[in-house]
Structures are given as structure tokens and as C-alpha cells.
Amino acid sequence: MLLVQDRAEEDRRTSDGAAAESEARRPDAVFCALLRGLRRPFHGEDDKESYCKAGKPEVNSNNNNNLFSVDDVRSGHPVSRARGAHEIRCPMLNSISLAQVNPATCVSRDQRFSTVCRFECPRGYEMKKSKLRTLSLTCGLDGQWNGKPETCDDVEAPEITCPQDMTVNNEPQMSYAEVTWDEPIIKDNSQGNDPNAKIEITKSHTSPKKFEIGKNQVVTYSVKDGANLTASCNFRVTVQGG
């Protein structure tokens, strides 16, 4: 009776040990899912499926049949372990006029898997399609970016501030007054950001200007930036007889 119990206990331990060993070699489900999404590092579908059926390769294994270690892929740097396999990299991105890029190497060389490239437009600008000021692109397992850089469009109208209304006296023995005023203050977000920025200013009158007594003259200024965004202001000039 004792012999039978000992044999049963030994069988149980053997079974538990085999199960533990099997579990230790069972491919990580998430890891295998990632591998099945890869396009470039494997020679074919058989390579991917055989890997996940065979179990985890040792990280420091000298077995040349192992394409990648688990740590290699999870770190984003799968290293070739078989002829023809190679590290996952995404192609260099195109630079965007006016946008800052971080890291700067995103537009100068290809990038490793999982790298995030951040494009940021200046204040008052946004991406043409996404309408975002900041756009982040990530290098995927398929060696492709999850989007494309977009141009920065100016969406902020210029600002213009005119002088206050003016009341002046006429010239001695004259029916008019020659009036002088300061030019409006103009600000636009494109200035200082876009080296090719252009500001167009139109005005109804040019200083100095002669105005007749008793007539309220309205002086109007308008401004348009390179994105055809506009703003305007005006002030009134009154000439009174002395």
C-alpha cells in the first residue's frame, strides 16, 4: 500500500514538473500576436507560426534558428538571428515647413520600431487635415508610420489697433485743418515664424491729410496676412472752427 502511494506521489510531482516546464516554454500570447503582425523580419508565415508553436527561444541562445529574443522585440529592437531577418525600422519622415520636430533625427534618418516623432506648429497654426497644432507619429511593427506629416496652416487673423478718435481746430483763416496721426499697431502670428510672411495694409486716408471744418471723417485701415485672413479698424476725425 505504501509503495502505491509513493508511486502516485512521484507521478504527481513528475506531472507538475512537466506542466511547469511547458508553461515556462509557452509563447507569450501578446508577444506572438506581435510577431504575427510583422511583415519584414520573417521569411514567411511558416516562420511566424512555427516560432509560436515551438515555444520561447532563449534570450542568449546560440541557436541560429531563433529569429528574435522576446526582449529584443519588446524593447523595439528585434535583432537578426537568421539570414535575411533584420531590425524593424521606419523610413525617414519628410520635414514640415514651420513645424518643430522632436526628435530632430526623425527627418534626417530612419527610426526604430516604437519611436514617436512629434511635429508641432507655431502658435496660431494647425495641421491642414487633422486641425491639430501637435501631431505625433509612431513607428509600427510593420515598419510603417501610423500617419503622415501635415503642413502647418495659419488660422489666426492679424490684429490691428487704430488711434483714438480725434478732434482738431482748423488752421487760422482756413476752412480746413491738416491732420496728422500715428499709424495703427499691427500684429500677426506669422511674423517671426514664417520668413516669407507678407502683410498687406490698405487705408482710406494717408497722414497728413486736410479735412474740412464740420465734417466727421472716418479713417479706415485694413490688414491681410499671407493666409488671406483679415482685420480692420477705424477712427473718426472732427475739425472744428476756431
Dig out the grid coordinates for 67 from the structure. 529569429
Q: Is 146 strand, coil or helix?
A: coil
User: Would strands 216-224 and 200-203 be described as parallel, antiparallel, or unpaired?
Assistant: antiparallel
Domains of the chain, start order:
89-154 (2.10.70.10), 159-240 (2.60.40)
pLDDT attached to residue 25: 43
Q: Are 167 and 181 in contact (CB under 8 A)?
A: no
pLDDT at residue 70, rounded to an integer: 46
Q: Provide the 8-state DSSP code for 84.
A: T
What per-residue string of b and e applies to 128-153 under the rule 16 or more CB within 10 Å gives b? eeeeebebebebbbebebeeebbebe
pLDDT one digit per residue (tens) for the chain, 242 residues:
444 445 555 555 555 555 444 444 444 444 554 554 544 344 344 444 444 544 444 333 344 444 444 444 445 444 444 444 568 999 999 998 899 999 999 999 999 999 999 999 999 999 999 999 999 999 999 999 999 999 999 999 999 999 999 999 988 888 999 999 999 999 999 988 888 888 999 999 999 999 999 878 999 999 999 999 999 999 999 999 86
Tell if the pTM clears 0.75, that is, is over it.
no
